Structure 1
């Protein structure tokens, strides 16, 4: 049985990119794409849709408001250019959250996340076109670019116009805003405070107030607390 999909995004280019990604996966079927949420709402009332790729920021009706207005909404993968909405998406039990521009590798991972939730087996034939998964980043430190493996980063700390990248062996200071650096990190990293990002694979323990990474305690910001604890308590 094909997975019946819908795309809702007010940007034509974004719709085009997602539609191209959909074509590469044999059991995904695009039933409709819409730039206006209200037009999509009409179709949702008459047709069964399994999975929606939904932009958050749209005129008249946001993606979040659209989902809240549906009595029995399909599974949803949010797509947006603004990472600030990630926390609210977790509170709504959204399948996943894709930050634009959306690579096929990240898209494919989100679809597989949906499969696990819906208990749908993987397609027999995997897509031929895949992108290499980056396992590192280069940061400018002391007038040279230093290679940092994502798996070695424990947490990131904001220091005014700089950030300190803590790794298992050392720490590196580079000029960058923590919000900008956050966009460069893969999914296992989580913003837990206005000044901190943690690698969730490195967490050894947590409370309602802080996260322990080895002997280091990272505070959880009040505005992040509800969503962060919900994420960390997931099995």
Structure 2
């Protein structure tokens, strides 16, 4: 199930930047944007939101005032051009503090913080799922058999139409599924670097701005929308 998020900022350009970033992460849904925190508060009374990107410096009602006076609140990531508000924001139990201009890499790290704080175990009733996550491995439905795959053995994952291939040092396992369904189930050291590829960052031998070379010499392209992921890998 995707993360339902909302943006509140009085600057149209700032909203557009976050909209662009959100579009690049497959498991996030932007439900609505607001340039007025009062209207946003009314919206929250009737709509369930998981994550709120909230600007601090806004006329009439600031982001800090909004947090202090709104009873129904999702998890919050503050956005602002002013570093000095960081301490007060963290005292209000926010998830993260994004300093404008917000890069995709910094945005992506905040999303991972949210996921780390809100990781839940899938209900056992979901028996129809093609993959089931358990501690350090997954079970993949391949050829009507559930095959155990250790996370540490995975080099990369790619997709071809309606199928996903899991590549290990010794084997390639094929399952009928979508690559987006793997994004939420894999540990944080796996990164999606292309619409068709997820890599295990622990298996990187070298990288450039165009591709990642994994141990064993396999070259994985970096998609145009994921260029900044290279900087995240370097860090």
- Sort the TM-score into its range (normalised by shorter chain): 0.5 to 0.7
1:5 matched to 2:71: no
Give 1:135 deviation, angstroms: 10
**Residue number in structure 2 paired with 1:33:** 33
Structure 1 length-normalised TM: 0.54
Structure 2 distance, partners of 1:9, 1:118, is 24
**Residue number in structure 2 paired with 1:133:** 231
**Residue number in structure 2 paired with 1:110:** 110
Structure 2 distance, partners of 1:31, 1:47, is 9
Structure 2 distance, partners of 1:112, 1:134, is 12
RMSD after superposition: 2.2
Gaps of 5+ in 2: 122-182, 186-190, 195-225
1:59 matched to 2:125: no
Structure 2 distance, partners of 1:72, 1:41, is 8
Structure 2 length-normalised TM: 0.54
Mapping for residues 1-235 of structure 1, pairs under 5 Å:
1-119=1-119, 122-123=183-184, 126=192, 128=194, 129-131=226-228, 132-133=230-231
* Contact 2:54 2:76 survives alignment (8 Å): yes
Give 1:69 deviation, angstroms: 1.2
Structure 2 distance, partners of 1:72, 1:26, is 26
| Further displaced range: 69-78 or 87-96 | 69-78
Go from structure 1 to structure 2 and tell me whether the alpha carbon gap of 1:106 and 1:120 turns closer, same or farther (over 3 Å shift).
farther
String of CA shifts for 1:187-206, please: whole Å, max 9, x gaps: xxxxxxxxxxxxxxxxxxxx
Give 1:120 deviation, angstroms: 5.5
| Further displaced range: 124-133 or 26-35 | 124-133
